[in-house]
């Protein structure tokens, strides 16, 4: 079995501005109040990496639990208050690889296959559930000083700069959030899969999109993305 077969059988889609392939498999009904807003109580996804993809450095407000299912081992870089740490996800327990691993909320994280790997199929679960509003993409020049000894890995897991393409992908996702705030397909449509029939939402205009892009540019400045 190769990566293409796994992607086909599981119906995975490209994960937009983070990288890799995914499919949301569960979003618990209902809402919980957290982070000054509402979130689904919990969510779960399939997540797949290939040699030409990686999970770019990012952080989430809440903890994310990784589950390794099959394929080749993955190296994950985490950067938190205690400094950088690299863990290996995989099936070789005797070699110290982990089949389950928790990334605490607020910790920067990024992942890629170890050299020679063909693919890795994992899953992640979150409680409270994933929401794009809780996602922050890392910037190389901000994170490099925090990663002594891991500069090459950090460079491989960060874009040279946050590009207009990243902002446009985020803006498209925000548009979809207006239309399907809690539907199970909102991430798939926002981050690379087939859009729903009513896309873009009929009440949205080009002026609305431009305002969203302007707001994202301002937010990028506040975050120091430059």
Distance from C-alpha of 130 to C-alpha of 40, rounded to nearest angstrom: 7
Exposure string (b/e) for 138-169, b if CB count within 10 Å is 16 or more?
bbbebbeeebeebeebbeebbbeebeeebbeb
Nearest Cα residue to 122 out of 73, 162, 66, 180: 66
Looking at the structure, tell me whether residues 129 and 27 fall in a common domain: yes
For residue 79, CA distances in Å to 121, 135, 147 come to 23, 15, 7
Shared domain check, 96 and 120: yes
Q: 32 and 124 in one domain?
A: yes
Q: How far apart are CA 190 and CA 170, in angstroms?
A: 8
Distances (CA, A) of 177 to 64, 165, 201, 211: 22, 18, 10, 15
Q: What is the pLDDT of residues 58-73, one digit of tens each?
A: 999 999 999 999 999 9
Query: Which H or E element spans position 214?
Result: helix 206-223
**pLDDT tens profile 150-166:** 999 999 999 876 655 55
Domain that holds residue 27: 3-156
The number of domains in the chain is 2
- For position 188, what pLDDT does the model report? 38
Residue 17: the pLDDT is: 76
Same domain flag for 13 and 109? yes
- Residue 37: count other Cβ atoms within 10 Å of its Cβ: 12
Tell me, what's the pLDDT at 111? 98
Query: Is the CA virtual torsion 139, 141, 142, 143 positive or negative?
Result: positive
Longest dimension (CA), the chain: 57
Q: What distance in Å separates the CA atoms of residue 176 and residue 204, rounded to the nearest whole number? A: 10
**What pLDDT is stored for residue 214 in this prediction?**
55
Q: Enumerate residue ranges in the chain where pLDDT < 70.
A: 161-226
- Domain check: are 145 and 170 in the same one? no
Picking from 119, 135, 156, the residue at the C-terminal end of a domain is 156
Residues 178, 147 within the same domain:
no
Separation CA 147–CA 95 (nearest Å):
24
Q: CATH number of the domain that 64 lies in?
A: 2.60.120.10
CA distance 222 to 212: 15
Q: What is the pLDDT of residue 198?
A: 36
Are 146 and 195 found together in one domain?
no
| The pLDDT of residue 164 | 52
């Amino acid at each position: 079995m190769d990566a293409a077969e796994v992607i086909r059988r599981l119906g995975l889609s490209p994960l937009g501005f983070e990288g890799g392939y995914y499919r949301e498999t569960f979003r618990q009904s209902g809402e919980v109040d957290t982070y000054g807003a509402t979130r689904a109580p919990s969510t779960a996804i399939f997540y797949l990496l290939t040699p030409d993809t990686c999970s770019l450095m990012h952080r989430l407000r809440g903890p994310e639990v990784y589950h390794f299912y099959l394929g080749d081992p993955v190296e994950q870089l985490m950067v938190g208050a205690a400094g950088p740490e690299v863990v290996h996800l995989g099936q070789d327990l005797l070699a110290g690889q982990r089949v389950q691993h928790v990334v605490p909320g607020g910790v920067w994280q990024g992942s890629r296959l170890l050299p020679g790997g063909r693919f890795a199929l994992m899953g992640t679960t979150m409680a409270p559930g994933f929401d794009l509003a809780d996602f922050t993409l890392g910037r190389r020049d901000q994170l490099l000083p925090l990663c002594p000894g891991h500069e090459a890995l950090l460079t491989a897991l960060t874009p040279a700069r946050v590009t207009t393409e990243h902002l446009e992908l985020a803006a498209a996702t925000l548009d979809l959030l207006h239309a399907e705030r809690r539907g199970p397909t909102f991430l798939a449509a926002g981050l690379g899969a087939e859009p729903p029939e009513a896309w873009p939402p009929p009440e949205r205009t080009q002026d609305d999109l431009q305002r969203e892009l302007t707001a994202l540019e301002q937010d990028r400045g506040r975050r120091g993305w430059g």
